[in-house]
């Protein structure tokens, strides 16, 4: 009986060690791969690409609480639903956009260059896959 208890205890400790070191490894790996944080806050507008205004407000609130982004406006888009969340680079600053994509948990292929005369850094079009962003912020 004591031998079985000892084996179970050793297995539980070994499993705990493996899980803890794995968690630390992936957490550190994610921090190492993070792009450089811009010196100034990123200014953006949020477009609703869902037909559900509550989701866009939730994303806006999440970004404002975080403090790294200054959300200036929320706009409604036409009745078209966007299947993917997109970042439109308005000023041609790829480093800021890479950081924004990383911060939101989006792959870099979601960044599109679309220069405009606006004084904003970017436009975030919230698509059907918006849960990628909310999950990323829950983890932080």
Task: For residue range 98-114, list pLDDT tens digits in order.
Answer: 999 998 889 999 999 98
Q: What integer pLDDT is reported at residue 25 of this predicted model?
A: 58
Provide the H-helix boundaries in 33-82: 53-66
Residues sharing a CB contact under 8 Å with residue 109, sequence separation 6 or more, in sequence order? none
Express each pLDDT in 82-91 by its tens digit.
Answer: 899 999 999 9
């Amino acid at each position: 009986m004591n031998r079985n208890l000892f084996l179970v205890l050793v297995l539980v400790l070994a499993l705990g060690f493996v899980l803890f070191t794995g968690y630390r490894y992936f957490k550190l790996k994610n921090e190492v791969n993070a792009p450089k944080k811009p010196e100034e806050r990123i200014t953006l507008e949020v477009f609703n690409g869902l037909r559900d205004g509550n989701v866009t407000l939730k994303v806006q609130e999440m970004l404002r609480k975080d403090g790294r982004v200054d959300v200036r406006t929320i706009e409604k888009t036409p009745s078209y639903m966007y299947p993917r969340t997109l970042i439109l680079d308005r000023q041609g600053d790829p480093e800021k956009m890479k950081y924004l994509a990383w911060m939101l948990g989006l792959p870099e292929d979601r960044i599109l260059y679309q220069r405009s005369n606006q004084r904003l850094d970017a436009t975030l079009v919230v698509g059907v896959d918006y849960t990628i962003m909310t999950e990323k912020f829950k983890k932080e």
